[in-house]
Amino acid sequence: MITAGKTKVLSLSMAISLAFTGLANAGVTNKDIANDQMTTEDVVSYGLGLRGQRYSPLDKINIDTVKEMRPVWAFSLGGEKQRGQESQPLVKDGVMYISGSYSRVYAIDANTGDELWQYDARLPDGIMPCCDVINRGVALYDNLVIFGTLDAKLVALNKDTGKVVWKKKVEDYKAGYSITAAPIVVKGKIITGVSGGEFGIVGKVRAYDAKNGKLVWERPTVEGHMGYIWKKGKKLENGISGGKPGQTWPGDLWKSGGAAPWLGGTYDADVDLLFFGTGNPAPWNSHLRPGDNYFSASRLAINPDNGKIVWHFQTTPHDGWDYDGVNELIPFDYKEKGKTIKAAATADRNGFFYVLNRENGDFIRGFPFVDKISWASGLDKKGRPLFIDSNRPSDPSKAKDGKKGSTVVAAPSFLGGKNWMPMAYSKDTELFYVPSNEWQMDIWNEPTAYKKGAAYLGAGFTIKAINDDYIGVLKAIDPKTGKEVWRYKNYSPLWGGVLTTAGNLVFMGNPEGYLLGLDAKTGEVKYKFNTGSGIVGSPITWEMNGEQYLSVLSGWGGAVPLWGGDVAKRVKHLNQGGSVWTFKLPK
């Protein structure tokens, strides 16, 4: 029997069986993680490599053979906790590790789909997740499975038994903090951000020793807050997070400034930098906090050894629409005039696609990747938006009743041209595959004040579809030119990650429940299978016993049905679920 906070421990016979079948093998090393993108027998990092390109060199499943792909097992997460399964699986030595909603973790025999163990976190009643009770994945290091919880803890489990090895409180959940992202492991450090921007928390990135959970460094992501490193048990100042207190914030607003790095990060060994995005400044009502509000709605390059911010790029200064800048920044190289450009790309919630120099954060180019952007007319030569002032929600204090500002129609909606769902980059086609959404919102400002643990918005909104026949659009985008090469339209919003492979395929799931395989060059659908619930997870592929496998979590949920307004009506008939589907070609 499984109870909260405990695991179903392996029986002696199962443990012996695992030892002889090779499932209980050596732990994950720094080298394993660094080489993850090009090793095919496992997936040991979120994003199939620290760069997060979500590209696999496997090609046995390709545009010619994919039509024969079929499910070989399905695993149910069980219970009544069928809410928003946004996890990406990891696979090592024949064992799959996944997280589920409500901070659960499972180990599954990747050959058979049998459960090996399950861990359920003991969550308190007062957790305050903004956008569903989701978890996006675990990290593997040594003999540990490490993940974050909805009450803002990091938990390290023994990979063979699921028993707790160490547990650390990252922040106070009663103040609105939580963790929903998959942590990242770099140089033996487990690195995590936090969620909670809607509660006026202070965003932070923290690094811990992955083996024992000891804190190594802390980097606040709101200008004015002090960063620290820990050496030999001593806490040492490591500089404020770039700038003086209040420099781009009025008064004391920086003390509850949000800017949560809630999605997690990527890492590039070439420049030895972590890349984290930050969320909205708090509150949403921008008239309460004039200024650029560093380092909200930004991409940060962070030194992985000490947490210092090396450079930053702000996509939406003085954000007034909840255009979080958390979306993944993906390192990639391309040739221009015979020279290799060390670039990085991101598709922002604000509707613009950015290509940056990942060595110094310089703006290379930017362009819209959605059809409608109403809040800015474009970007200047440094990538700063050219605001359309009339599209900023007005100051409610100047309204006749002082309670509600004028309503504007803003596109994209605050759920973004692209939200958390990760895009993929193929080195074969040199294209990014971007899961995007075409929607807009009515938005207005309201008075608000900070109170610990309470919602801190100062805005109201209603999300609406722009087109009757589709919201979601998977787009193939050339980052060198800004050209859209092809698009695939979907009736419901897209909310799951993308995978691309050397088999000239792009895989994604949709809320209607289908796992889709598309031609990476043309967008033609080559494969379609209904999993029984909406897919908001991120697919992976790996090789086992000489065969290529593909897995994805199915289970509808996430922010869309919670925050979607009129759009939520479009998906209200979709059933929740909780399962992992695994596919391969027949022998």
**pLDDT per residue as tens digits for the range 91-150:** 999 999 999 999 999 999 999 999 999 999 999 998 988 888 999 999 999 999 999 999
| Residue 64 neighbours by CB under 8 Å, 6+ apart | none
**Interval 31-40 mean pLDDT:** 96
In three-state secondary structure terms, 114 is: coil
Residue 238: what pLDDT?
A: 83
Whether 348 is catalytic: no
Residue 190 domain flag: yes
**Entry pTM:** 0.95
| Residue 384 neighbours by CB under 8 Å, 6+ apart | 314, 317
Residue 581 domain flag: no
Residue 10: what pLDDT?
A: 47
Residue 580 domain flag: no
> Domain residues for 316?
12-575
Number of independent structural domains in the chain: 1
Report the chain's mean pLDDT, rounded to a whole number. Answer: 93
- Tell the residue number behind the tokens 């494969």, with chain if given: 527
Residue 587 domain flag: no
Share of the chain above pLDDT 90, in %: 87
Residue 12 corresponds to which tokens in the numbers above?
């002696």
Residue 430 to residue 426: CA distance in whole angstroms: 5
DSSP 241-270: SSS-TTSSS-TTGGGG-B---TT-EEEETT
**Interval 158-178 mean pLDDT:** 97
Confidence of residue 357 (pLDDT cuts 50, 70, 90): very high
Asked whether residue 270 carries a pLDDT value surpassing 50, the answer given is yes
Confidence of residue 241 (pLDDT cuts 50, 70, 90): confident
Residue 421 domain flag: yes
Half-sphere exposure of 3 (CA within 13 A, CB side): 1
Half-sphere exposure of 543 (CA within 13 A, CB side): 15
Q: Which of 36, 322, 324, 348 is catalytic?
A: 322
CA-to-CA dists, residue 527 to 68, 393, 551, angstroms: 9, 44, 14
In three-state secondary structure terms, 567 is: helix
Residue 24: what pLDDT?
A: 52
Residue 377: what pLDDT?
A: 98
Asked whether residue 1 carries a pLDDT value surpassing 60, the answer given is no
Asked whether residue 16 carries a pLDDT value surpassing 70, the answer given is no
197-219 pLDDT tens trace: 999 999 999 999 999 999 999 99
Q: What CATH number should be reported for the domain holding residue 67?
A: 2.140.10.10
Residue 351: what pLDDT?
A: 98
Is residue 262 within 8 Å of 276, Cβ to Cβ? no
What Rg value do the Cα atoms of the chain yield, rounded? Answer: 22
Residue 6 domain flag: no
CA-to-CA dists, residue 208 to 110, 118, 128, 196, 214, angstroms: 29, 24, 24, 20, 5
Residue 23: what pLDDT?
A: 46
Asked whether residue 524 carries a pLDDT value surpassing 70, the answer given is yes
**Interval 355-369 mean pLDDT:** 98
